[in-house]
Structure 1
Amino acid sequence: MIKRQLHDKVYWLGAIDWDRRLFDSLIPLPDGTSYNAYLVQGSDKTALLDTVDPAMAEMFLAQLADVPRIDYLVCHHAEQDHSGTIPLVLDRYPDAKVVTTAKAKTFLIDLLQIDEQRFITVADGDSLDLGGATLNFIHTPWVHWPETMVTYLAEAKILFSCDFFGSHIATSDLFVTDQGRVHEAAKRYFAEIMMPFRTVIGKNIEKLAPLAIEMIAPSHGQVYDHPEWIIDAYRDWTAGTPHNLVCLPFVSMHGSTRVMVDHLTAALMERQVRVELFNLPVTDIGKLAMSLVDAGTIVLGTPTVLTGPHPMAAYAAFLANALKPKARYLSIIGSYGWGGKTVDQLAAMIPNLKVEVLDPLLVKGHPRQDDLAQLDRLADLIVERHKKDEFRR
């Protein structure tokens, strides 16, 4: 890899991770990812903004071979895919200071054992003049950790946004060239990482609104040289009205629950409600999370295992509870053989969801005609609620 110029005296450097398919031993990466850092050279001082995942350290350090001096190493976020190579950079540049928030300083000392004397902490609104290049630091807590900040380079109108507006894509293109592909990747990234904090993220978007932003340079994915559309997308994902959409994750062991899922899906489609099905044993969890960004209603489909929900349905409930989507309604459908407390147990797993629970239906054995008629009534109720709330079509 080589440094690539973004603007006069501003360079991208980092690493493209073409092969990575899992993040945090949890998040699927179907398109790989990148770890982006940036070099800003003023007439007096030079600043490096972030580093890369330690696995890519050798590639990253090679790009600094012709950089004789780094005065400041700005750390926006302490997670190791951004910060993990800081100790190696500090070894190479013994006079460099780590510039970060007070909270991030404590994290970096704990995670990387960096000497406390190497830090400069910055308050919200502080700035550094590099000589014709002014770095303005803006605290953006909970995007997506409590210590995060972004940097605005005033002269070039570039926002270095760290995880904010990021996307997991491995590509040789420095700038966004396929907006549709990046929109999907950025939505997946938001769904998996940012959605639990969407309320405070919405406030941080408005905090950035007074800035004249002509370019957004995130820590993952491509650089936005026309950033208006991704800002608008974030506004919708954080605060927009839910869609006329039912997200339906399900699992079926012997076919009874699948019959119910298919019948409800057909009934909703007939009533002009969009449905997205996720057969949990084979589902990409990232796709499920993306559906939760927009869904007005969630329906969980599960058989009963022993006395409770199938473990995969329990995981889907746990995921929805953790991600805190803006859905307003939820229901549970499925079957059982001899008894249990599936509905009670699933309901207890979603305290973070501010939803109305609509007519759960668990049937004994294979569903009969009366059971299918109840699913039709559930479809009618979902339509009624979506129309009342004027969900987006």
Structure 2
Amino acid sequence: MHPRQISERVSWLGVVDWDRRLFDSLIPLPDGTSYNAYLVQGSEKTALLDTVDPAMADTLMAQLRDVPKIDYIVSHHAEQDHSGTIPLVLEKFPQAKVVVTPKAKGMLIDLLRLPEDVFVSVEDNETLSLGDKTLKFIHTPWVHWPETMVSYLPEDRILFSCDFFGSHIATTDLFVTDEGRVFEAAKRYFAEIMMPFRAVIAKNLEKLSGLDMNVIAPSHGQIHRRPAFITDAYNEWVHATPRNLVVLPYVSMHGSTQAMVDHLVNALVVNGVRVELFNLVVTDIGKLAMALVDAGTIVVGTPTVLAGPHPLAAYAAFLANALRPKARYLSIVGSYGWGGKTVETLSGMIPNLKVEVLEPVLCKGMPKEDTFQALDNLADSITRKHQEQGFA
């Protein structure tokens, strides 16, 4: 794909990766992704903002074929899908300097084996003149690594946000055209990599709130010409209280846990509590992560396998612990054949969750009337807790 103009002497360079279906050997990409780099040509200096994944380096280098010079390569984030082609760009433009935060310098030396003298470190709110265009660098740590920053181009009112405000979508549309599609993709993206760092992201949102932004240009997905669309979404995901929602990941081996889950779901729905159910045998973990953004309560459904939780249920607990959602309550339901330590094992896997653990419901073999009554009691307890918290 050829370079595409965003504004005068500001261009998108990048690659649309239609076929990629997994990121970091972990994150599903049902809609592919893009790797966005940007070229800013001032009257005196030229800056390349980020690069692309090394697997797509040929496309970026072809886009740079007719660029006469690059003075600066701005690396907002050291992760290789953005930084990995920097060595090739430096081969073509050996006079270029790599502009980074102080923390990113060491990380890029480790990751890419770049020489120390190629770097220019910039402090928070430092500016770099390109002549008639200026880049202002704003440190945004933990979006989503500790070294990250964004760049603001005041003359064009463009924020180059790297992973901040991004989404994994492969499309020929340079700008956002379908806000519904982008909202879902951006929420998935936030849930999978940003949610654990909500407190720091809240501070970064505040730092950016005073900027006069006309465009937000992230490093994945489409460019936002209505910045409030994505900044409002982030403020909601970061600051809003949990919803009147139970997220219920589960697995069932012989039908006992399935019967318990079905009964609990029905009891919650009768009580006016919304439920999102995830059969872990077939679940897209990105969908589960998205649901956790809003969850008021998490209930894990699992049979006991070799005295502990089913490995898929353990994985769901580990995932929730890593993502650190805002949920206030957690419980466990499931069945066992002769005994075990399912509750103790799962409880020990969630130290990062600031939740109240509600009375688990476990049964031996198939559930009986007393089990169904205990599930009704759990549904009533969740409903009461949500009402007390004002979850809507």
The TM-score range, normalised by the shorter chain, is over 0.9
Structure 1 counterpart SS, 2:12:
strand
| Shift, 1:361, TM fit | 0.8
Structure 1 spans left out of the alignment, 5+ residues: none
Which amino acid is the alignment partner of residue 221 of structure 2? G
Corresponding position of 1:101:
101
- CA–CA distance in structure 2, aligned partners of residues 270 and 362 of structure 1: 22
2:67 pairs with 1:64: no
| Shift, 1:66, TM fit | 1.1
| Shift, 1:87, TM fit | 0.2
After superposition, the C-alpha distances for 1:286-335 in whole angstroms (9 at most, x for unaligned) are 00000000000000000000111000000000000000000000000000
Which amino acid is the alignment partner of residue 383 of structure 1? T
Identity over aligned residues, as a percent? 72
- CA–CA distance in structure 2, aligned partners of residues 210 and 181 of structure 1: 28
Structure 2 counterpart SS, 1:281:
coil
| Shift, 1:199, TM fit | 1.0
Which 4+ stretches in 1 moved above 6 angstroms? none
Corresponding position of 2:165:
165
- CA–CA distance in structure 2, aligned partners of residues 273 and 281 of structure 1: 24
- CA–CA distance in structure 1, aligned partners of residues 239 and 197 of structure 2: 11
Corresponding position of 2:35:
35
Which amino acid is the alignment partner of residue 15 of structure 2? A
| Shift, 1:370, TM fit | 1.2
| Shift, 1:65, TM fit | 1.0
Corresponding position of 1:192:
192
- CA–CA distance in structure 2, aligned partners of residues 390 and 228 of structure 1: 27
Query: Map of 1:12-31 to 2, 5 A cutoff?
Result: 12-31=12-31
TM-score (norm 1): 0.99
| Shift, 1:238, TM fit | 1.0
Structure 1 counterpart SS, 2:281:
helix
Which amino acid is the alignment partner of residue 116 of structure 2? E
Which amino acid is the alignment partner of residue 94 of structure 1? P
- CA–CA distance in structure 2, aligned partners of residues 15 and 371 of structure 1: 55
Corresponding position of 2:55:
55
Question: Aligned pair count?
Answer: 392
Which amino acid is the alignment partner of residue 280 of structure 1? L
| Shift, 1:351, TM fit | 0.3
Query: Map of 1:1-393 to 2, 5 A cutoff?
Result: 1-392=1-392
After superposition, the C-alpha distances for 1:155-201 in whole angstroms (9 at most, x for unaligned) are 11110000000000000000000000000000000011111111111
- CA–CA distance in structure 2, aligned partners of residues 104 and 372 of structure 1: 55
| Shift, 1:338, TM fit | 0.2
- CA–CA distance in structure 1, aligned partners of residues 51 and 151 of structure 2: 15
Structure 1 vs Structure 2 CA RMSD: 0.5
- CA–CA distance in structure 1, aligned partners of residues 229 and 327 of structure 2: 24
- CA–CA distance in structure 2, aligned partners of residues 212 and 391 of structure 1: 34
- CA–CA distance in structure 2, aligned partners of residues 234 and 165 of structure 1: 8
Structure 1 counterpart SS, 2:303:
strand
- CA–CA distance in structure 1, aligned partners of residues 237 and 145 of structure 2: 18
- CA–CA distance in structure 2, aligned partners of residues 61 and 106 of structure 1: 25
- CA–CA distance in structure 2, aligned partners of residues 239 and 254 of structure 1: 41
Structure 2 counterpart SS, 1:144:
coil
| Shift, 1:132, TM fit | 1.2
- CA–CA distance in structure 1, aligned partners of residues 273 and 7 of structure 2: 47
- CA–CA distance in structure 1, aligned partners of residues 44 and 115 of structure 2: 25
Structure 2 counterpart SS, 1:217:
strand
TM-score (norm 2): 0.99
- CA–CA distance in structure 2, aligned partners of residues 219 and 38 of structure 1: 9
After superposition, the C-alpha distances for 1:101-122 in whole angstroms (9 at most, x for unaligned) are 1110101111101111111000
Which amino acid is the alignment partner of residue 317 of structure 2? A
- CA–CA distance in structure 1, aligned partners of residues 362 and 214 of structure 2: 54
- CA–CA distance in structure 2, aligned partners of residues 97 and 306 of structure 1: 57
After superposition, the C-alpha distances for 1:14-69 in whole angstroms (9 at most, x for unaligned) are 00000000001100000000000000010000000000000000011000111000
- CA–CA distance in structure 2, aligned partners of residues 65 and 225 of structure 1: 28
Which amino acid is the alignment partner of residue 389 of structure 1? Q
